[in-house]
Amino acid sequence: MNRFVLIFVFLLSFSASAQTINDLSFGTNDTFEVMTWNIQEFPKNNQATIYYATQIIEALDVDFIAIQEISNQTAFSDLVDGLANYNGHFESTEYDGLAFLYKPDVITVNRVYRIFETSNYWNVFPRAPMVVDITYNNQHLYIINNHLKCCGDGTLSLGDTTDEENRRYEAVNLLKNYIDTNLQNENVILLGDLNDVLSDDINNNVFQSLIDDTSNYLFADHDIAFGSNTNWSYPTWPSHLDHILITNELFDEFALASSTTETIKIDDYLSNGWTEYDQNVSDHLPVALKLTLDSNLGVNDVSKNQSSKLINYPNPFNTSTTFSFKNISGNTQIEIFNVFGQSVFNAPIANGQTKFQWTTQGLSNGIYFVKLVSDKKIIAHTKVVLAR
């Protein structure tokens, strides 16, 4: 065969197999997707950024996108105008660019408001959090978009109002208190560029109050944060700074096999990889969560007020943990799943039994969901963290 023909065939084969932005995907018709994206002083490269962002958003097909760092309102309006299936909301650059996009065909926005926006909170929240009250598939959700203070030396200096870690620490505690006080029993998703890592030790972890409250809160991106740096959202450092937190009202949905959390590695779909993405779009990659939110799921499938029946200690644990429960009768099993919805353990529970010790073997560190199931109905549930 002529060598020029060989070269042509090779190039044709390479072109057919190479990934492009159009090959990106995440959203489905059967799930609710929410994504956080620091889009770095949008538009970073003027019209080129708007073009890239439009193609990326349309390909990913995510239902709700929480955005940080919109610098130009006109450019954001141009982005929204170029998206056939999205509406957008952006208030002003006074708040340093918090915004969101959503699909009006599947989402109703009931209310948008700011919290902690008065001057006495400016040190802790240089950008006041944005709360979006939405309805999706007859489910009511609150999404809290954040961009916390950046930088620091990695050491948390409690009480020092100039310390960046302390400012984030105070912000996290205020957000937790707000949810605990005002959004009890609501489906809440807190997300954004939180500008710190989940893997710091207990003395320097700004998220410790949320991490410790395992009955009520879960970082859906926990396994990303503790996994390979190839999946972290801020490759330049590298570090994982963009997080998605859910409240316990969504634990059961997150445990389903159809649910997942991913860092969307857009640079893998560009011919010049990270260089092209960084020059034209952002220095952060988006992080997205996919959940099945059936209109009846979480109402008929599990009694939310029964979760206190199942407790365990210690949690987190490194080898074994003991579950305590009561009022067990009938055909009952304890079932344990990983974050991908895969069953990793199950065992029968006898009538009158009140305790069960689970000793792990061959399982990786991470979050596991535990359910007591009686006659095919979930009667209690909790979440545990394996951390050797």
331 close to 349: Cβ distance less than 8 angstroms = no
Residue 248 domain-assigned (yes or no): yes
Which residues of the chain fall short of a pLDDT of 70? 1-17, 92-95, 294-309
Residues 269 and 313 in one domain: no
Residue 76 domain-assigned (yes or no): yes
Residue 303 pLDDT:
41
Residues 102 and 164 in one domain: yes
Residues 71 and 214 in one domain: yes
Residues 239 and 345 in one domain: no
Residue 94 pLDDT:
61
Residues 68 and 104 in one domain: yes
Domain containing residue 364: CATH number: 2.60.40.3080
3-state secondary structure of 121: helix
Residues 309 and 272 in one domain: no
Residues 331 and 285 in one domain: no
Residue 11 domain-assigned (yes or no): no
Residue 95 pLDDT:
58
Number of domains the chain contains? 2
Q: Kindly give the pairing relationship between strand 366-374 and strand 332-338.
A: antiparallel
Listed residues 291, 315, 334: the one ending a domain: 291
Residue pLDDT, tens place only, 229-288: 999 999 999 999 999 999 989 988 887 778 899 999 999 999 999 999 999 999 999 999
322 close to 313: Cβ distance less than 8 angstroms = yes
Residues 318 and 246 in one domain: no
Cβ neighbours of residue 42 under 8 Å, at least 6 residues apart? 49, 53, 67, 69, 70, 71, 72, 75, 76, 79, 97, 282
Residue 295 pLDDT:
55
265 close to 240: Cβ distance less than 8 angstroms = no
Residue 39 domain-assigned (yes or no): yes
**Cα–Cα distance, 134 to 145 (Å, whole number):** 13
Residue 214 pLDDT:
82
Which candidate, 385, 337, 354, places its Cα nearest to that of 213? 385
Domain containing residue 233: CATH number: 3.60.10.10
Residues 237 and 357 in one domain: no
Residue 40 domain-assigned (yes or no): yes
Residue pLDDT, tens place only, 289-340: 999 886 554 433 444 434 446 888 887 788 899 998 877 877 899 999 887 7
Residue 296 domain-assigned (yes or no): no
Residue 156, domain extent: 17-291
**Cα–Cα distance, 240 to 285 (Å, whole number):** 10
